[in-house]
């Protein structure tokens, strides 16, 4: 970019040309170089370590089984868990079970998003509302969402509505709080700059406050998803009924009832994998994109 400007400076006769050339030179000297990490390095530094950790856990597990530290109905071998997976795979129920929970979780999360976002904005911007419900909202975050399952069952019965209610009560405070802290951290300079440009009121909220608060908001979403997923699993484990369809939580509870330890292990592993996968596929890329586009992501 800068090098094209220097051709005009090459003539060097006019004073204006001289300034342009000087400036192009300064720009070229000062310009910040932004490089992207090559794929090989990503594989080596980001993918390999967690895979090695998982392998290590599997090896330790197998060693414990071989050492016969406890009866095999308490600690099944990794191969027994693997057999459970392939069994479910062959019966064609594996993805059905996962999808039942994931679709509930994501739908509940989207609902929480739709409620938590305006709520967070109002709490952040309206002093009275903030004083009134701000502390309650942050307090709710420390309340385990399992606590909501009994009242939700009584109020709404054993159905999907009750599951969504529990998810909302778990995730809405996280999302709203994330947005509130995001808004609180907007540098006052941006607000002043926005006001001089004419961005006041709703225009200011849309063009300045919301985008400036995005990093905090995304962090809130990430936490909101974790809370959604945890709440849903709690609800599925406690409230099982044939009408509800088989989700991962019920799979876990069924394993306990049938004294099927490989099934219990399988359910736990699947719950963990889904939680991590959604985070890796959706929220982490979103967060990285937001931070990188602002130059806030320092290469490690």
Partner 1 sequence: MATAIAKAEDRVSVEHEYAARLGHVSKSFNGPAGPQLVLDDITLDVAPGEFVTLLGASGCGKSTLLNLVAGLDRPTAGSIETPGGRPALMFQEHALFPWLTAGKNIELALKLRGVPKGARRQEAERLLELVRLGGAFRKRVHELSGGMRQRVAMARALAQDSRLLLMDEPFAALDAITRDVLHDELTRIWRETNVSVLFVTHNVREAVRLAQRVVLLSSRPGRVAREWTVDIDQPRRIEDTAVAELSVEITEELRGEIRRHGQH
Sign of CA dihedral 280, 283, 289, 295: negative
Q: Which is nearer to partner 1, 19 or 69 (CB)?
A: 19
Question: Is 131 or 193 the residue whose CB approaches partner 1 more closely?
Answer: 193
Residue among 10 and 198 whose Cβ is closer to partner 1: 198
CB of 19 to partner 1, least distance (A): 5
List residues near partner 1 by CB under 8 A: 1, 4-5, 15-16, 19-20, 22-24, 26-27, 30-32, 34, 189-190, 192-193, 195-199, 203, 207-208, 211-212, 214, 293-296
Tell me the closest approach of the beta carbon of residue 56 to partner 1, in angstroms: 39
How many C-beta atoms surround the C-beta of residue 292 within 10 A? 13
For partner 1, the closer CB: 62 or 293: 293
- Residue 36: CA atoms inside 13 Å, Cβ hemisphere, count? 7
Task: Report the residue number, 18 or 83, with the smaller CB distance to partner 1.
Answer: 18
CA dihedral 160, 165, 168, 170 (to 10 degrees): -110
Q: How far is the CB of 5 from partner 1 (least distance, A)?
A: 7
Q: C-beta of 8: minimal distance to partner 1 in Å?
A: 10
The H or E element containing residue 267 is: helix 261-278
Q: CB–CB of 205/125 below 8 Å?
A: yes
- Which lies closer to partner 1 via its Cβ, residue 152 or residue 208? 208
Considering the complex, what minimum distance in angstroms separates the CB of residue 287 from partner 1?
14
Rg (CA), the chain: 27
Local structure of 100: helix, strand or coil: helix
Most distant pair of Cα atoms in the chain: their distance: 91
Integer angstrom CA distances of residue 48 from 45, 276, 278, 283: 6, 16, 20, 21
Cα separation, 18 vs 89, in Å, equals 73
Please, which residue, 31 or 280, has the CB nearer to partner 1?
Answer: 31
Please state, as a whole number, how many other Cβ atoms lie within 10 Å of the Cβ of residue 61: 16
Q: How far is the CB of 76 from partner 1 (least distance, A)?
A: 50
Q: How far is the CB of 142 from partner 1 (least distance, A)?
A: 31
């Amino acid at each position: 970019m800068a090098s094209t400007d220097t051709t005009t400076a090459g003539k060097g006769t006019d004073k204006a040309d001289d300034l342009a050339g000087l400036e192009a030179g300064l720009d070229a000297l000062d310009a910040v170089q932004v490089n992207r990490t090559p794929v090989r390095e990503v594989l080596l530094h980001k993918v390999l370590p967690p895979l090695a950790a998982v392998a290590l856990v599997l090896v330790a597990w197998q060693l414990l089984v071989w050492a016969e530290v406890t009866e095999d109905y308490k600690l099944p071998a990794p191969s027994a868990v693997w057999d459970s997976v392939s069994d479910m795979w062959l019966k064609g129920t594996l993805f059905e079970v996962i999808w039942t929970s994931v679709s509930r979780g994501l739908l509940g999360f989207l609902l929480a998003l739709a409620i938590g976002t305006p709520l967070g904005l109002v709490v952040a911007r309206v002093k009275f509302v903030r004083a009134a419900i701000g502390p309650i909202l942050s307090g709710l975050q420390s309340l385990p969402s399992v606590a909501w399952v009994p009242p939700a069952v009584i109020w709404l019965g054993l159905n999907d509505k009750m599951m969504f209610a529990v998810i909302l009560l778990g995730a809405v405070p996280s999302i709203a709080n994330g947005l509130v802290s995001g808004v609180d951290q907007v540098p006052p300079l941006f607000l002043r700059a926005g006001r001089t440009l004419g961005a006041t009121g709703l225009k200011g909220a849309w063009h300045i406050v919301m985008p400036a608060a995005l990093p905090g908001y995304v962090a809130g979403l990430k936490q909101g998803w974790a809370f959604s997923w945890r709440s849903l699993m709690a609800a599925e484990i406690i409230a099982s009924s044939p009408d509800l369809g088989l989700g991962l939580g019920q799979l876990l509870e069924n394993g306990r009832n049938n004294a099927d330890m490989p099934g219990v292990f399988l359910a736990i592993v699947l719950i963990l994998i889904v939680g991590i996968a959604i985070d890796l596929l959706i929220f982490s890329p979103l967060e990285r994109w937001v931070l990188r586009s602002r130059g806030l992501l320092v290469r490690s």
